[in-house]
Structure formats: structure tokens, C-alpha cells
Amino acid sequence: MDLTWRPLTLADAAALAELYAAAEEVDRTGEHFSTEDLREELAGPNIDLPRATVGLWAGDRLAGYGLARRRDAADPVHMIRLQSVVHPEYRTDAVGARLAEWFERTSREVHERTFPGAPLELHHGSHENERWIAGVLTRAGYRHGRTMVNMRVGLADLPPQPPLPDGYEAVPFAFEYDLAVLDARNDTFADHWGSTIYDPEAWRHLVTGSKDFRPDLSFLIVEDDKVLAFVLSHHYESETEATGIRELYATWVGTRGMLRGRGIASGLLGHTLRAAKDAGFDRSALNVDVDNAHRALGVYERCGYRVDDEWHVYVLS
């Protein structure tokens, strides 16, 4: 059947959830999305639905989609984030080639509307099991840029956790600290590969204003109203419904430069894990760059996390 290519709308969120479920049957990425999850994502301030999304329709069936998400800064490069899923029945060379062409053309259009004149890179992540899209990207000239790993730790038999150093106390997240946490996040991740600043609108939509944010299981180190370190957590109910496992995701873990190397990150994360266990969670997960310049992998291993699976980022300059 010929496919019709048209932009997505918020009304397509249910069809997109069905598409992800069909792909997960083959790809086994461990990700599960509800209609509400995807509607919230599509409504994000960095997504231009009419001009930067496409759905591949086989009649009333969504057979695939693509998305080009602008970033909040181009310092020094505008790294557009690409996303896509194609139903296993429609993973042909022709679909792959057209999707890759759409990525490049649409990304350049988004770029010219936002950061004209700045250098541009296209970034597309894929799970280690998503071999079809990895092949599509490689044939289109993308290079493997980075490997990220998901790490997990069970909470039933949580090992003894590193304590916070003397003189530091974990402060529960409160929304009065929201912009101070954003400032700390932008500072902490300034030198991370693939990272750029968040502006307040995107931050609130994606992080602290998300329906999945758990402020009660997010903790800070604060000094004179300045946030020095943070662990921000999310719980994705759709994952629990699919797996039966209550997993707390440590979405953002960071420490400002002047406190690194003192055990702040591991102590604050350990505090979070103990709170998650007390709240009835089964395990915790997080994602980290294996080449993280701050040696975060070792921090997480000290808290009991172990590598579970890999994600790869493909880059086209």
C-alpha cells in the first residue's frame, strides 16, 4: 500500500502509542508510551507540529513517524534532535531513504528559522536493538557519535549507600527553587557532549512541569538560595502498567564544579534511593554517557547501579 506523508497533530497521539507498541514487540527497547505520554511530548514548545513532524499513513494506520526538535541554543552548534519509529511491516529501503531525506530537509528548514548562520548537526538516538534505523542513518552518511547506557539498581536489596559528607543536607525539591535548579542544570551540563541550555519554558514542560515529575523524590543541596547539586526524579506510570515494576528514573543528576570529587553526587543519589525504597519503588534507573567527562559512571556504580542496555547517537554534520 502506498503511504501518505502528512504532519502529525495532537489528535494522532493514540495512533502513535499503537505504533510504538507494535515496534516494541520487535525491538525490545524497554520503552512503553501511553497516549497521554505522547500527547504531552508532542505539545512541547520545541516541537513545531505542522512544519517539523511527519506521519506515514497506510490508510487509517500510522505506519511510521519522524520529528525534528529544535534546541534552545546553538552554542556553538545547533544540534537538532531527531526521533522516529517505523512499524516493522513498513521497514523498507524506500521508506528509510525517504525518511532520511525528510530528516535532512526539515532540519535545515527548522535551523534557518531559529539559528540561521550557525553550524548545524543532526542527532538521532537509537536503542542497540533498533538495527533498522541505525542502518538507515549509516547509509545516509550519519556517523556513530556517542554511546549512552541505561543503568539500573534493584531497591529490595539496596546495598549500603554512600552518605552525604558532613555539613551537607539533602533538601526536598520545592518549586520556589525551580529556576535555581535550572541554573544549576545549565551550568553543570555546559561541557557535556550533545548538551545545551534549556530555557524556562522547555524546562518546565519537559522536566518540572511534566505529569511524571516526582518532586517528593527529588532532592537538592542548597546554599544561600543557590542550588549546588540536584537529583530530579520521574516515575513513568505507563512503564509500570506495562511491566508491573515501579521504577523511579533519576532523570537529572548534577553537581556544580566547585563540589565535584567530594562525594556529593553519590551521597545525594543514595539519599534519593533510600527515599524511593521507602516509597515502595522496586528499582531505579538512569542514563549516562559512557565517556562522561565527570566520570559519572563510577559515581552511579558506587550506588549499586549496573549497566543494563545501550543507546547510540548518530550524527550528521
pLDDT digits (tens, 9 = 90+) for 137-187: 999 999 999 999 999 999 999 999 999 999 999 999 999 999 999 999 999
Q: Across-strand partners of 153? A: 284
Mean pLDDT in residue range 121-126: 98
Residue 259's pLDDT is: 86
- The answer on 302 and 177 residing in a single domain is yes
Structurally, how many domains does the chain consist of?
Answer: 2
Evaluate if residue 80 carries a pLDDT over 70.
yes
Supply angle C-alpha 215, 206, 221, rounded to 5: 40
What are the percentages of helix, strand and coil residues in the chain, rounded to 5? 40, 30, 30
Number of neighbouring beta carbons within 10 Å of residue 184? 23
Rounded Cα distance, 99 and 300, in Å:
37
- Whether residues 130 and 155 share a domain: the answer is no
| pLDDT tens string 187-227 | 999 888 888 999 999 999 999 999 999 999 999 999 998 99
Any domain includes 87: yes
Of 283, 285, 253, the residue nearest 269 (C-alpha): 253
155, 101: one domain? no
pLDDT at 283 over 90: yes
C-alpha R_g of the chain: 20
Instruction: Looking at the structure, tell me whether residues 121 and 226 fall in a common domain.
Output: no
Query: Do 126 and 64 have their domain in common?
Result: yes
Q: Residue 5 burial (CB < 10 Å; 0-12/13-18/19+)?
A: middle
Question: Cell numbers at residue 102, please?
Answer: 525528510
Which CATH number do you get for residue 137?
A: 3.40.630.30
Whether the model pTM is above 0.75 = yes
Task: Classify residue 317: in a domain, yes or no.
Answer: no
Range of the domain at 115: 4-141
Instruction: Kindly state whether residue 314 falls inside one of the protein's structural domains.
Output: no
Using the CB atoms, write b or e for 246-279: b if 16+ within 10 Å. bbbbbbbbbbbeebbeebbbbbbbbbbbebbbee
Q: Does one domain contain both 159 and 304?
A: yes
pLDDT at 226: 95
Q: Could you tell me which residues come within 8 angstroms of residue 167 by beta carbon, excluding any fewer than 6 positions away? A: none
Confidence of residue 1 (pLDDT cuts 50, 70, 90): low
Q: Are residues 178 and 52 in the same domain?
A: no
Closest CA to 229 of 242, 238, 237, 220: 220
Q: Are 124 and 272 in the same domain?
A: no
Instruction: Identify whether residues 200 and 251 lie together within a single domain.
Output: yes
Q: What is the mean pLDDT of the chain?
A: 95
Q: What are phi and psi of 283, to 5 degrees?
A: -160, 170
Task: Give yes or no: residues 18 and 162 share one domain.
Answer: no
